[in-house]
Structure 1
Amino acid sequence: MTVARSALAVALATSTAVGHLVYPVALHLAARAKRPPQVEAPPQWPGVTVLVPAYLERGVIAAKVDNVRKNGYQGELEVLVVADGDPATADAARAAGARVLLLAERGGKSQALNAGVRAATHDLVVISDANSELEYDAIAYLVSALLAPGTGAVAGEKLEGEGGELAYWRFESWIKRNEARLGTTLGLDGGLCAVRREAWEPIPADISNDDFWVALDVMDRGWSVAYEPRALMTEPSIGSIDLSWERKTRVLGGGLWVMWRKKHLLSPARGLVSAELWGHKLWRSTLGPLSHVALLGLAAGSARRSRTAQVFLAGHAVAAAALVAQEKGRRVPLPGRVAAQVLYLQVVAVGGMRRFLRGDRVLKWDKPAR
C-alpha cells in the first residue's frame, strides 16, 4: 500500500472500531473511578403496576400473569394487560386474573404503552413483554433502583441467545453498567424496565422504538436512567435469520428515526447524553458500518499486493462461512460464532440505514401468534 492508502486504511479501521472498541474503552476509563450506585430495599414496598402490552399472545399470557404474581414482590401488585385490539388475548388474560384493558383497534406497542401507563393504578410502572419470563425478585430490584432520587426509569437485564449473540448481550450489559456509573444509561430494553409515571410523557404516534424513545425522553427532561443487572428476564430466541433480520433492521431503522427526532441531544452541550448517543448508538449504527464497507473495498483493491488485506478479507470469508453454517444448524466453534455475529450486526446496520432513508417505519409489524 502507498502511504496515502495506508493512512486511509488506518482512518477507516479506527472509524469502524469507534462503537465497538474506542467508545467502550473510553467509557470504562471514565467510569472506573466511580462507585456503582448503592441500591437498597425500601423500608416499605410501594404499590406497583406491571404493564404487559400484548398482541396475539393468547397462548402465553396466562403463564406471564402467573410468572409476575409469583415473582416475590412484597408490596401491592397490579398486573395490567393491554390487549392491543386483540379480544382473544384479553379473554385469556382476564381468565388468568389480570386486569385487562382491551383497545378497540391495534395501534402498535408504543400506543398500547401510552394507554397502559395512563390507566395504571400505581405511580411506579414495570413494563414487561408477554413472552418474557422474569427471574425471581426482578420486580423488587427494579423498584429499589427506581426509588432513588432523580431516577425516572430503570433498565433491567435480558438473557438471550448463545455463542456470539450471548457475547453481544454481555457486551451491551457491560456498556450499560459503565454508563450508569457515570450517571445515566440509554440502554433501556422494553422487554423489562420500570418508569415513574411523573417522568412519562406519551410516546409520539410515529415512534416504533418505544424503549429507546422513553430513555431519551426521560433524560431530555432531566431525569436519569438507571441500570439494574439483578433484574433479570429471559426471552426466547427470535428463530430464523429471516425473522432476526426483519426485527433487527426494523429496530435500527426506528432507532435512527428516534435520534433524528431527538437530534438536539447530539449537541456536545448536552454532555454525557450526547457522548452516549454518539458512542453507543449513532456511530455504531452509521459511520462505523459505512467505514467497514469502505475498508473492505480498500482491502479488495489491495489484496494482490498486501498480506494484511488478504488476512482481512480471509477473516470476513471465515465469518460469512460460520454464519451460513449456523443457519444450516451446524455446530461452529465459539470464535467463529462471535465473528459471524459481528459481521451480521454490521450488515444489519447497513440494512437499518436503508430502511431509515426509505422512511420504512413499521409501527404495527407482523408477528407470529403465540
Structure 2
Amino acid sequence: MGLAGFAASLTIFCLGLQLYHYVLYPLILGLLARVMGRRKPSAASIPALRTTMIICAHNEAGVIAEKIANSLALDPSPDEIIVVNDGSTDDTLTIARRAASAAAHVQVLDKPERGGKSAAMNYGAAAATGEVLVFSDASEMYERQALMHLLAEFADPTVGAVSGSHRVRPPKTERDLVGKSEGLYWRYEDFIRRSESAIGATVASVGSMLAIRAQDWRPLPPGTINDDAWITMSTLARGRNVRFAPRAVSWEEASESSAEEQTRRRRITAGRILLLGRPEIWPLKRPAVLAAFLSHKVLRIALPFLMIGGIVANIIVVWLAPGWWVFALTLVLQLIGFGLAAAGYLADRTGRRWRLAHLFYHITRSNLSILLAVRDIAVGRSFLKWDKPSR
C-alpha cells in the first residue's frame, strides 16, 4: 500500500468517524424518531406516585433558599423535599434550615464531612420515603410544571428513570459569551436525547433533573463521578427503560469563564472514561441501546484523537501524493475549521458575536477537555470532590 496509501486510509477513517458522530448519527436518529416515534404522554396520564426531591448542596448559600422556594412552588409540588448539606463551609446549612422551617415536608440533613455528590445522593435516598426519587442540583431552578412532565413518563411501567432538559441562561454581560456556547451545546444534546428517547435508546441524562423509581434505585458505588451516567446506563443494563422528557425544563446560570466551563467538562469526561471500566453499565443484551451508547458517548471520547490523527494523516497524504486533489480539499476544509475555532477563541476573548466561529471553538475546546481528562486520569488526579463554578 505504501505510506501515502496508509495515510489516505487513516484520513478517511478519522474524518469519517467524526462526520458520523457530529452529523450522520443525529440525522439517522432524527429519521428513525419520525418513523418509530412514540406518542407523547399527556398531563392526564400522570400516575399517583409519592415523590421525593433530593437536593445535594455544598457551599450553596447564595442559591439554596431560592432553590427550596422554587421546589415548593412546583405544580405538582413534591410530597417530600430532602436537602443534603454535604460538608458546606459557608452558611448553606443555616439558610437551608431557615427556608425549610416554613414547610413541614422539607427536611435538611447535615452531612458534616464532605463526601462528594454521589455520597450525598446515597445519604438522601436512604432517608427518602417516595416512590419516585428526583435528584436535583441546588443551582438548578425548575419550570413550574417540570415535575408534572417528568412524572407523566412513569405511566409506562417499563420506565425506570426519566431525565429532563437542562437549559443555560444567557450570559450576564456581552463580553461573556460562554453561555451562548453552553446553550448551543445543550440544544444539540436535547435533539439527540429527544430522538434517542423516541426510539427507546436514551443513553444520556442530566444529573440536575433525574427521576428514578425507588424500586429501581441502586446506591452509587464509592468513587462515582458521573452519577447521572451510572444511573442511566445501569438502569438500562438491567432491562428497564429510560426516557427523556423535553418539556421538563430546568435553568442554570452560565459559567462566568471559559476556564471554569472547561474544568467542569474535564471532570465529566474523566468520570465517563472511568465509568467504561464498570461492567454493570454495559447494555450488552440490548443491541439498539448499545449502538446508541457507542455512537453517542463512547465515540465522543475518541474524537480528539481522531481529529489529531485526521489532520496529521491528511498532511502526509498531500505531502507524498500532491496529485490526490480530494485529500488536498479535505485538508483545506480541516484548516478552515481550525481557523474558525481560532477566530471563535478571539471572539470569546474580545466579546464579539460570531455564531459559526463560536460553534467550532466550542467543539475544539470540548475535545481539548477530553485530552486534559485523559491526562488527569494518567496522573491520578481526583475529581470526586470539586468546587462548583461561579455563576
| 1:314 equivalent in alignment to 2:336 | yes
Aligned to 1:294: 309
Aligned to 1:274: 290
TM-score (norm 1): 0.91
CA deviation after TM superposition for structure 1 residue 22, in Å: 3.1
TM-aligned CA distance change 1:266 to 1:148, over 3 Å? closer
| 1:213 equivalent in alignment to 2:230 | yes
CA deviation after TM superposition for structure 1 residue 302, in Å: 5.5
Report the residue type matching 1:16 in the other structure.
Q
| 1:184 equivalent in alignment to 2:205 | no
- Which of 16-25 and 139-148 deviates more? 16-25
Q: What are the equivalent positions in structure 2 for 1:25-174 lying under 5 Å apart?
A: 25-40=27-42, 41-42=44-45, 45-73=48-76, 77-86=79-88, 88-97=91-100, 98-160=106-168, 162-174=179-191
| 1:256 equivalent in alignment to 2:270 | no
In 2: Cα distance, 1:72 partner to 1:278 partner: 37
Q: Residue by residue, what CA displacement relative to the aligned partner does 1:51-72 show, whole Å, maximum 9, x if unpaired? A: 1000001121110011111122
* CA contact 1:266–1:278 (8 Å) conserved in 2: no
Gaps of 5+ in 2: 101-105, 171-178, 323-327
Q: Residue by residue, what CA displacement relative to the aligned partner does 1:24-74 show, whole Å, maximum 9, x if unpaired? A: 233334333113343133476432111100000112111001111112216
Q: Residue by residue, what CA displacement relative to the aligned partner does 1:275-307 show, whole Å, maximum 9, x if unpaired? A: 121001011112x32111111223444667535
CA deviation after TM superposition for structure 1 residue 85, in Å: 1.9
In 2: Cα distance, 1:339 partner to 1:310 partner: 15
In 1: Cα distance, 2:152 partner to 2:380 partner: 40
* CA contact 2:47–2:155 (8 Å) conserved in 1: no
CA deviation after TM superposition for structure 1 residue 122, in Å: 1.2
- Which of 158-167 and 111-120 deviates more? 158-167
Aligned to 1:365: 386
* CA contact 1:254–1:361 (8 Å) conserved in 2: no
Q: Residue by residue, what CA displacement relative to the aligned partner does 1:344-369 show, whole Å, maximum 9, x if unpaired? A: 12222222232334443411113368
TM-aligned CA distance change 1:311 to 1:303, over 3 Å? farther
Identity, % of aligned pairs? 30
CA deviation after TM superposition for structure 1 residue 315, in Å: 2.7
In 2: Cα distance, 1:23 partner to 1:43 partner: 32
Match of 2:356 among 331, 335, 344: 335
In 1: Cα distance, 2:195 partner to 2:59 partner: 37
In 2: Cα distance, 1:214 partner to 1:38 partner: 23
TM-aligned CA distance change 1:264 to 1:270, over 3 Å? farther
Report the residue type matching 2:226 in the other structure.
N
Aligned to 1:13: 15
* CA contact 2:50–2:132 (8 Å) conserved in 1: yes
Q: Residue by residue, what CA displacement relative to the aligned partner does 1:156-191 show, whole Å, maximum 9, x if unpaired? A: 001126544322211111111111112131211011
Q: Residue by residue, what CA displacement relative to the aligned partner does 1:225-282 show, whole Å, maximum 9, x if unpaired? A: 1110000011111221211121101100111111221377264x43122112100101
Q: What SS does the corresponding residue of 2:243 show, helix, strand or coil?
A: strand
Gaps of 5+ in 1: none
* CA contact 1:129–1:191 (8 Å) conserved in 2: yes
CA deviation after TM superposition for structure 1 residue 111, in Å: 0.7
Aligned residue pair count: 366
Report the residue type matching 2:133 in the other structure.
V
Aligned to 2:103: none
Q: What SS does the corresponding residue of 1:159 show, helix, strand or coil?
A: strand
Report the residue type matching 1:221 in the other structure.
R
In 1: Cα distance, 2:226 partner to 2:76 partner: 29
* CA contact 1:52–1:127 (8 Å) conserved in 2: yes
* CA contact 2:162–2:211 (8 Å) conserved in 1: yes
Aligned to 1:244: 261
Report the residue type matching 1:346 in the other structure.
N
* CA contact 1:53–1:129 (8 Å) conserved in 2: yes
Report the residue type matching 1:121 in the other structure.
T
* CA contact 2:234–2:282 (8 Å) conserved in 1: no
* CA contact 1:165–1:338 (8 Å) conserved in 2: no
Q: CA RMSD in A?
A: 2.3
In 1: Cα distance, 2:288 partner to 2:330 partner: 37
In 2: Cα distance, 1:110 partner to 1:43 partner: 29
* CA contact 1:27–1:178 (8 Å) conserved in 2: yes
- Which of 184-193 and 25-34 deviates more? 25-34
